[in-house]
Amino acid sequence: MEIQTSAGGFAGLDVQALAVAVFKDERADEGFLKELDEASGGLVRSVLESEELKGKEGESVYLHLPAGAAGPKARRLLLVGVGERADYRASHVSQFGGLAVRQLRARNVKSVGLVPRHEGGDAARSASAAVEGAVIGLFEPDKYRTVDKEERTVERLVVVAAGADEEALRRGAERGRVVGESVNFTRDLANEPGAYMTPTIMAERAQEIANEFGLDIDVLDQARMEQEGMGALLSVARGSDQPPKMMVLTYMPEGKERVEDGEDFLALVGKGITFDTGGISIKPAENMELMKYDMTGGATVLGVMRAVAQLKPPIPVLGVVPSTENMPSGKATKPGDVVRAMTGKTIEVINTDAEGRLILADAVSYAKKLGATRVVDMATLTGAVSIALGDVNTGILGTDQELIDEVIESGREVGEKFWQLPLDKEYSKQIKSDIADIKNVGGRKAGTITAAAFIKEFADGISWAHLDIAGTAWGDEAKPFRAKGPTGVAVRTLLNFVEREAARAGGAKEAEGKTK
């Protein structure tokens, strides 16, 4: 899709349809809507006065403008309710963009002018959110269909912000494209069947990212994992014929070659179980096909690193993705086995379906070995988080409250919700083993928390936060602004987090320079 911007009015815009944000209870008596009403021959006023559209979030009305009428070149108009003006944020702009392009694509519109109307706000940020939402909205999980496939597409998108700085608007739209495409990259990986997304294939996709966008990459194979003593990860891989991989992607800002000792170094670590049968503790057959998405944490890391490489923040970022299948076989780890993690800590494997925390243990340890001082890990880790939080909030836990708060706030700004769960030391007692240092499950109580308590055992000495995305990484129902299936949750949050951290680091550096 070609993406353009316009700091002029809507009247001369060469598009087939205009999509315009309308606030709750807004009238066409003044300002922009009055101008639009006059251009539409009174149709906008008619729709609003009849209360066919009240401006509530998610409402929409589609209009054909009369042929030959004075006004915009576009002959079609989509009015989209976006809720209260006082509550209008970038996240709402993103949903507006997604809803608009999905509805107009369904009507075979090829070129769309988006008018998000973020008056008085940051026009560049608004453009970024609108484009991001539109790109995400056009994704469909029908890759392997040969019939009833969505063949229609929006070929050109123009974001309109009258009076804005054109260059800032262009930069915002470009950022939105990068973010939206990276979210969709993550969604595409998560949607791949297990046969088409093995650890080897996932590593190949990581290599493609590195080659295309200039990231450093190192892929550890089984032999190197054995050298590193990654017994926890290898215990999960043992039952599969597919060899495990650990992808390590590194972004360095321009002019920087390495991270100095003691320097702040952010690592993102994502679970990459490309298919999870549960191993010997095998899952029920019902809905097991969804376990292709058990690598979504790893896919999220790859999506974030793909965007970071293009947005080029002035801070280094490390991405670590441990990847394997979890399969039952004569070679598979059995319940009751004891394995030794990279740190030397011994683990009694009570349940082989609690495998994500095992591979994350070695991945977090490896990130620490590479110099990471702050680690955010993410995983489709527990069914318990879905029981606790449903598909609305992502569970977040950790050892650094400032880091946790920053992630939550970063999510709030982009419209992704996180809810902190406690991690008191009492929960760690549930994973004490009688025959080893720890065990990989803590019983039925507080399953999401005890899973995090397990990973915490390997995050000592660093600032650490854990995201359990099992409930939010997959949407069973389509939204007006997004298709059903993989959601790409946390990609936008983590990118916003990186940019906020980069701004903070830049401010600290500037302040340091002034004091010298």
Helices (H), 192-322: 199-213, 222-228, 231-237, 296-311
339 vs 503: CA distance, rounded Å: 42
Q: Which residues contact 280 (CB under 8 A, 6 or more apart)?
A: 239, 328, 332, 333, 334, 335, 352
Has 283 been annotated as catalytic? yes
Q: In this structure, which amino acid lies at residue 155?
A: E
The Cβ of residue 478 has, within 10 Å, a number of other Cβ atoms equal to 13
HEC-encoded secondary structure of 141-198: CCCCCCCCCCCCCCCEEEEECCCCCHHHHHHHHHHHHHHHHHHHHHHHHHHCCHHHCC
Pick the catalytic residue from 170, 245, 357, 368: 357
Cα 430 to the center of its chain, rounded Å: 31
Distance CA 202, CA 417 (A): 28
* Size of the chain in residues: 516
Q: How far is CA 14 from the centre of its chain?
A: 33
| 156 given a catalytic annotation | no
CB 156 within 8 A of CB 110: yes
- CA gap 265, 98 in Å, rounded: 34
Burial class (CB in 10 A: 0-12, 13-18, 19+), 514: exposed
- Integer Cα distance of 136 and 336 in angstroms: 44
Active-site choice (56, 73, 75, 283): 283
- Looking at the DSSP assignment, which residues form a beta bridge with residue 179? none
Give residues with Cβ within 8 angstroms of 479, minimum separation 6.
98
> 183 phi and psi, to 5 degrees?
-60, -45
Catalytic residue list: 283, 357
